[in-house]
Structure formats: structure tokens, C-alpha cells
Copies of this chain bind each other. A is one copy, B any other.
Amino acid sequence: MTGHSPPDPKHLRLKFDEYVRRHQLKSTHQRDVIVDLFLKSTGHMSIEDLLAKVRKKSPKVGYATVYRTLKLLTDCGIAAARQFGDGQTRFEVMGDGQAHHDHLICVSCGLILEFENDTIEQLQDEMADRLGGFKLVRHKLELYGQCPKAAGVKNGYCPKDESS
């Protein structure tokens, strides 16, 4: 009920290459860097995050190129744009058979977790039907909470502590 298999960067990279070929687009150094860094990431990167990483390898890349490349990735189903209310769009890596999932965001450390819950989805469909026979086409569920440490649990775990 929770979690899903992580996307495979190599396979997605091939998918992108094929998309580029099929649409007669060109393979450029900038795109290579952007796509690889994006696929290597844990997802949920903002344009700014990504551009910062990109510029470490290729300093002259501009915002527009990153926006355009993410658009491309979104068009071919490798990336998905998300809004978590902090003003900027974040992009997540979409694995191939990746089912719909929702998000849990820690309000203190900023960590974003993904989850699936079939029971909730089912209740949503029922709810929509009960509200007047509506048929759902999509939904957005975001949980904002505190990780145990932030919530004040003694010796509480904070995922952020590990990454440093």
C-alpha cells in the first residue's frame, strides 16, 4: 500500500533518447547534462535547484534551457510538474509503470515522501459520486506534517539528518 519501485535512470535515459530521435530533435551537451542530473536526482527538484547543479558542470546554461528541457521531459512522460505551494514548480521523475501517488511533506525539514493508498482513492471516488454523480479524472492529495524529530519525539528521527 505504500511506496513503489524506484525509477530506472538508464531506462528513462534511453526513453528520452528515443523521443529525441523520433521527433527529430537534436542531442546537445546541455540536454545531456540536464537530463542526467534530473534523472539521477530523487525528484521534486525546482528549476533553480536543477540549474544550480547543472551550472557546476556547465556554467553557461541559462534558465530557459532548463525550462525547455523539463518541458520536453514532461511531454514524453519522464517528468511530472508538481506544485507544493511554495511558489515554484517542482518536477518529479516518473518511472515507467509508475502508478499515481500522493505526497507527504515535512513542514520543518522539507522532506517529500511519496505514497499510495488505495482505500483513500476508493473513498474519493465514492465521495465524488455522492456529491452529485461526478466522475473523477484526477486528484491531488498533499499531507503536511512533522517528522518525529520536529514533532518533539525523544530521539525522534529526522530524515534530513542522514543526508548531511
Contacts and interface: CB of A to CB of B under 8 A. Distances in A.
Contacts of A145: 128, 134-137
Interface in A80-118: 83, 85, 104, 106-107, 113, 115, 117
Contacts of A156: 133
Interface residues of A, number: 39
Given A83-B85, A140-B141, A147 B133 contact: yes
Please tell me how many copies of the chain the complex holds. 2
B134 A146 contact: yes
Contact of A140 (B130, B142, B159): B142
A149 to B, nearest CB: 9
A157 interface: yes
A104 B120 contact: no
A154 to B, nearest CB: 12
B117 A123 contact: yes
Chain A interface mostly: mixed
A67 interface: no
Given A128-B104, A138-B144, A133 B153 contact: yes
A101 to B, nearest CB: 11
Contacts of A142: 139-141
A16 B54 CA distance: 50
A27 interface: no
Query: Lowest 10 A-B CB distances belong to which pairs?
Result: A134-B145, A136-B145, A133-B148, A135-B151, A140-B142, A139-B143, A138-B144, A141-B141, A128-B145, A135-B146
